[in-house]
Chain A
Amino acid sequence: GAGVSQSPRYKVAKRGQDVALRCDPISGHVSLFWYQQALGQGPEFLTYFQNEAQLDKSGLPSDRFFAERPEGSVSTLKIQRTQQEDSAVYLCASSLEGRTYNSPLHFGNGTRLTVT
Chain B
Amino acid sequence: GNSVTQMEGPVTLSEEAFLTINCTYTATGYPSLFWYVQYPGEGLQLLLKATKADDKGSNKGFEATYRKETTSFHLEKGSVQVSDSAVYFCAPPIHQAGTALIFGKGTTLSVSS
Residues of A within 8 A of B (CB): 3-4, 31, 33, 35, 40-45, 48, 50, 55-56, 91, 93, 98-101, 104-110
Chain B neighbourhood of A35, CB < 8 A = 103
A45 to B97, CA, bound (A): 15
Per the CB 8 Å criterion, the residue count for chain B at the interface is 25
**The one of A50, A56, A105 that contacts B101, using a Cβ cutoff of 8 Å:** A105
Chain B neighbourhood of A98, CB < 8 A = 99
Q: Which residue of A lies closest to B93 (CB)?
A: A100
Could you list some 20 contacts between A and B, CB below 8 A? A3-B43, A41-B106, A42-B89, A42-B103, A42-B104, A43-B89, A48-B99, A91-B43, A99-B97, A100-B32, A100-B34, A100-B93, A100-B98, A100-B100, A101-B49, A101-B93, A104-B46, A107-B45, A108-B43, A110-B43
> Is B105 interfacial (CB 8 A cutoff)?
yes
Q: Is the interface of B mostly helix, strand, loop or mixed?
A: loop
A41-B106, A43-B103 known, 7 other contacts, Cβ within 8 Å: A40-B105, A48-B99, A56-B100, A100-B32, A101-B98, A105-B101, A109-B42
> Is B111 interfacial (CB 8 A cutoff)?
no
Chain A neighbourhood of B99, CB < 8 A = 31, 48, 50, 55-56, 98-100
A44 to B103, CA, bound (A): 7
Residues of B within 8 A of A (CB): 6, 31-32, 34, 36, 42-46, 49, 51, 89, 93-94, 97-106
* Contacts across chains A and B counted by CB atoms under 8 Å: 64
CB distance B100 to A48 under 8 Å? yes
CB distance A41 to B105 under 8 Å? yes
Closest CB-CB distance, B93 to chain A, in whole Å?
Answer: 6
A63 to B101, CA, bound (A): 22
**The one of A4, A33, A101, A109 that contacts B100, using a Cβ cutoff of 8 Å:** A33
